[in-house]
Amino acid sequence: MKRREPLPDLSHVLEDSRPHRPEPAVPLTEKRIHGRFDKAFIVVIGSELYGDTHAIARNVSAGGILVEMNYAPPLGTVVTVHFQNARGDDLFDEIVARAEVKHHHYLNFTGSGEAASSRAIGMRFLEFVDPGERISPERIH
């Protein structure tokens, strides 16, 4: 039986012998075209095919919106987004936008020891319409 020599101490290999140079600070550039309003609030998403549902809007900008919903309409679906604000007894302001579903986001996370998930869709605004205006069926895809 041949005896082996003890292995040399290689712990120094993991240490960086080069002098530490700080990384240059790279300025982060914002790639978004529109500034966003980072606030969560309730909206109503309307669809001819899927009906109306309440959702949570986040990251609203002039170009689009991220909405947390129970279901995700297929990509390319055109929906109406109803922003409503109660002003008093039976009075409310409403802004209605038509938007196209552009992205699906599925989030899995844990909280207080239990697994949970959330679904969100990214939508691009197509146009803003008068709340009383009826959209002709041929304009809805």
Whether residue 100 is contained in a domain is answered as yes
Residue type, 9: D
Among 66, 64, 42, 36, residue whose Cα is nearest residue 55 = 42
Residue 90's pLDDT is 74
Please write the tens of the pLDDT for every residue from 40-53: 888 999 988 888 88
Cα 127 to Cα 5, 24, 63, 81, 138, distances in angstroms: 77, 43, 10, 10, 16
Is 2 inside a domain boundary?
Answer: no
Q: Which of 77, 83, 67, 69 is nearest to 128 (CA)?
A: 83
CATH number at residue 43: 2.40.10.220
**Is residue 4 domain-resident?**
no
Q: pLDDT category, 30, cuts 50, 70, 90?
A: low
Q: Please tell me the predicted confidence (pLDDT) of residue 34.
A: 62
Range of the domain at 124: 35-131
**How many domains are contained in the chain?**
1
Please, which pLDDT band fits residue 133 given cuts at 50, 70 and 90? low
pTM, rounded to two decimals: 0.64
Higher pLDDT, 89 or 71: 71
Are 91 and 129 contacting, i.e. CB atoms less than 8 angstroms apart? Answer: no
Residue 125's pLDDT is 93
